C-alpha cells in the first residue's frame, strides 16, 4: 500500500492507526508493506518515530503494545518525492522493483493532484492490472471537474479498480441501517410515504475549521459534507432493497435515489435552502472566534459553514415526504443522526401523546432507539414517550468497535467495493448540488450569521415551518 500524502493528518491520524489495528488483529498478509510518500526529506527511522507518536495519540492506550508496534513498523517505510514531478515516479518505479505485483495507491492528497498522480503512475508503468487506487472526497468541486477527474482516472484504471472512499459508509451504525431495513420484517411495510411524515439527517460539529481553513474556504459545507456524506446517508435511508448484497446491486439502488431527487435551482434556493456562517460565540464555556477570523480564511469570506435544505424524492415510495439535510460547524452539540419521524395515529383516543420516532445515531455514541407511546403510572390514561433503546456498544461489549477506515481499508485490500462510490453516483450527486450552488450565486444568497455554540441560523425553523405539517 502506497500512501501519497503520508505526512498529512489523514495518513497519520486515520490510515496508519487503522492499519496498525489490522496488523494487530492478523488481518494483513504477512508480505503486506506500507510505503508513505511525501515531500519531506525524512529517513525511514524518523518517519517511523513520527508515525508512532501519532498512533499512540490515536489508538486506545490499552490497545497500543510496543512489541506489536515493532512488528507493524517493520512493514512501514518512507519515500521522499514530489508527486507533481514525473521524474520522481521513475525513481519510485525503481524503488518498487521486485515488490509484489499488487499495489494499492491511496491518494490522501488534495483532489487537484489526482489527475497528475494517475498520469505519472501510468507513464512510470506503475498502474498494472492488479493495482488499485483509493480516492478521498471531495472528488472535484463541481460536476465538470468531477467528470474530468473520473475521465483521467478511467484512462488508467478500470472502474473495478477505483475505490472512492466516504468514511461515513464504513461506520458500524450506517451498515446497521441496511440491516435494520432489509433484515427485519417489522419496518418494511412502514418505510414509505404512507407512514413516514418526514426524515431529518443531521451532521453537526462543535469544532470549527481547525487547520483546514485554506481548503474549507474554497469548499464550504455544501461541497465538504452535503455532496458526499449527507447524500450517501440519504441514499441508504431511501433506497429500495437490492436484489443481492453485492457492490453493483447496492450501488445501482443508491444511484436511482440520486436520479429521483427533485432539482433545486434558481429561486427555489430561497424557499428550500438555508445557508449560514458562524459568528463569534461560546463552545463549552470557551470564547471562539467568528469564521472569518480563522487561520487561512479570507476576512471577507462568504463561504457557508452551515447548510440546511429540503430534499424531495420523486418516486412511488417517497413522494410528498420531506427529507431535511442539515450540517454545520461550531454548533451547540456534536452529533450525526438520522431521525425517521412517523405520522401520528389517524384517530387519537387519548389526550396528549406524540408520533413514533426512530433515531439512528452515528456519533458521538452509536445507538438505535424507537420512541413509543405508553401509559404513565397512576390514575387516568396519561401518555408519555418511552424508548426502546439499542446501544450497540453495550450490546456487543465483548467486541471492539471497528473504526470506519479499518473496515474500508480491508475492503480495498480484498477488492470489495460495496461501501465505495461508483463513478455515476459521484456525478449524479454533483448534478443535483451544482444548481444549488449556482442558485446561491445568481440570487446573492449570502450566508446567514449564527452564533458559535447555537443551533444554527434562525431561518432554519422557518424552513421547517414551510414544509412540515404542524410547522415543527
> Per-residue pLDDT tens for 414-445?
999 999 999 999 999 999 999 999 999 998 88
The pTM score is 0.92
Report whether pLDDT(273) > 60. yes
**Residues near 275 by beta carbon (within 8 Å), at least 6 away in sequence:** 304, 306, 307, 440, 445, 446, 447, 448
Q: Are 228 and 137 in contact (CB under 8 A)?
A: yes
Class of domain 2-168: alpha beta
Report whether pLDDT(390) > 90. no
Helix (H, G, I), strand (E, B) or coil at 207: coil
Helices (H), 82-162: 86-95, 114-123, 143-154
Domain boundaries, given as residue ranges, for the chain: 2-168, 171-403+422-467
Q: Are 3 and 37 in contact (CB under 8 A)?
A: yes
pLDDT for residue 381: 80
* 96 closest CA partner among 129, 71, 133, 121: 121
Residues noted as catalytic: 229
66-75, 168-177, 187-196, 313-322: segment of lowest average pLDDT: 168-177
Q: Find the farthest-apart pair of alpha carbons in the chain and give their distance in angstroms, rounded.
A: 83
Compute CA 371 distance to the chain's CA centroid, rounded to the nearest angstrom.
27
Report whether pLDDT(220) > 70. yes
What homologous superfamily does CATH list for 171-403+422-467? Dihydrodipicolinate Reductase; domain 2 (3.30.360.10)
Topology alike, domains 2-168 and 171-403+422-467? no
* 352/429: higher pLDDT: 429
* 78 closest CA partner among 45, 124, 113, 126: 45
Q: Are 315 and 233 in contact (CB under 8 A)?
A: no
Residue count (the chain): 472
Amino acid at each position: 500500500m502506497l500512501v501519497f500524502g503520508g505526512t498529512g493528518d489523514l495518513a497519520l491520524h486515520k490510515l496508519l492507526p487503522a492499519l496498525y489495528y489490522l496488523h494487530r488483529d492478523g488481518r494483513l498478509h504477512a508480505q503486506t508493506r506500507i510505503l508513505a510518500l511525501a515531500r519531506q526529506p525524512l529517513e525511514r527511522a524518523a518517519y517511523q518515530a513520527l508515525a508512532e507518536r501519532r498512533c499512540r495519540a490515536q489508538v486506545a492506550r490499552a490497545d497500543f503494545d510496543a512489541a506489536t508496534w515493532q512488528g507493524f513498523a517493520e512493514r512501514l517505510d518512507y519515500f521522499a518525492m514530489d508527486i507533481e514531478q514525473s521524474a520522481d515516479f521513475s525513481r519510485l518505479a525503481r524503488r518498487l522493483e521486485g515488490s509484489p505485483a499488487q499495489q494499492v495507491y491511496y491518494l490522501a492528497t488534495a483532489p487537484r493532484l489526482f489527475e497528475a498522480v494517475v498520469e505519472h503512475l501510468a507513464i512510470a508503468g506503475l498502474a498494472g492490472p492488479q493495482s488499485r487506487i483509493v480516492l478521498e472526497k471531495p472528488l472535484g468541486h463541481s460536476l465538470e471537474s468531477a467528470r474530468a477527474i473520473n475521465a483521467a482516472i478511467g484512462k488508467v484504471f478500470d472502474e473495478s479498480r477505483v475505490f472512492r472512499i466516504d468514511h461515513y459508509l464504513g461506520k458500524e451504525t450506517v451498515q446497521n441501517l441496511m440491516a435494520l431495513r432489509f433484515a427485519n420484517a417489522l419496518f418494511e411495510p412502514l418505510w414509505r410515504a404512507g407512514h413516514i411524515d418526514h426524515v431529518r439527517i443531521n451532521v453537526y460539529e462543535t469544532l470549527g475549521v481547525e487547520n483546514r481553513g485554506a481548503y474549507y474556504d474554497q469548499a464550504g459545507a455544501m461541497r465538504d459534507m452535503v455532496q458526499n456524506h449527507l447524500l450517501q446517508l440519504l441514499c441508504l435511508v431511501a433506497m429500495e432493497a437490492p436484489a443481492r448484497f453485492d457492490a453493483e446491486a447496492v450501488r445501482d439502488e443508491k444511484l436511482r435515489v440520486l436520479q429521483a431527487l427533485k432539482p433545486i435551482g434558481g429561486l427555489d434556493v430561497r424557499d428550500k435552502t438555508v445557508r449560514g456562517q458562524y459568528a463569534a460565540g461560546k463552545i463549552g464555556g470557551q470564547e471562539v472566534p467568528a469564521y472569518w477570523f480563522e487561520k487561512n480564511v479570507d476576512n471577507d469570506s462568504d463561504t457557508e459553514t452551515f447548510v440546511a435544505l429540503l430534499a424531495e424524492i420523486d418516486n412511488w415510495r417517497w413522494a410528498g415526504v420531506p427529507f431535511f439535510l442539515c450540517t454545520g460547524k461550531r454548533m451547540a452539540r456534536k452529533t450525526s443522526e438520522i431521525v425517521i419521524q412517523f405520522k401520528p395515529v389517524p384517530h387519537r383516543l387519548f389526550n396528549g401523546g406524540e408520533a413514533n420516532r426512530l433515531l439512528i445515531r452515528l456519533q458521538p455514541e452509536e445507538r438505535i432507539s424507537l420512541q413509543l407511546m405508553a401509559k404513565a403510572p397512576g390514575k387516568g390514561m396519561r401518555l408519555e414517550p418511552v424508548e426502546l433503546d439499542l446501544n450497540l456498544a453495550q450490546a456487543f461489549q465483548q467486541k471492539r468497535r471497528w473504526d470506519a477506515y479499518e473496515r474500508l481499508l480491508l475492503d480495498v485490500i480484498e477488492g470489495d467495493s460495496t461501501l465505495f462510490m461508483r463513478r455515476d453516483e459521484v456525478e449524479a450527486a454533483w448534478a443535483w448540488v451544482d444548481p444549488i450552488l449556482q442558485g446561491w450565486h445568481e440570487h446573492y444568497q449570502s450566508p446567514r450569521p449564527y452564533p458559535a455554540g447555537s443551533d444554527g441560523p434562525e431561518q432554519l425553523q422557518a424552513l421547517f415551518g414551510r414544509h412540515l405539517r404542524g410547522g415543527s
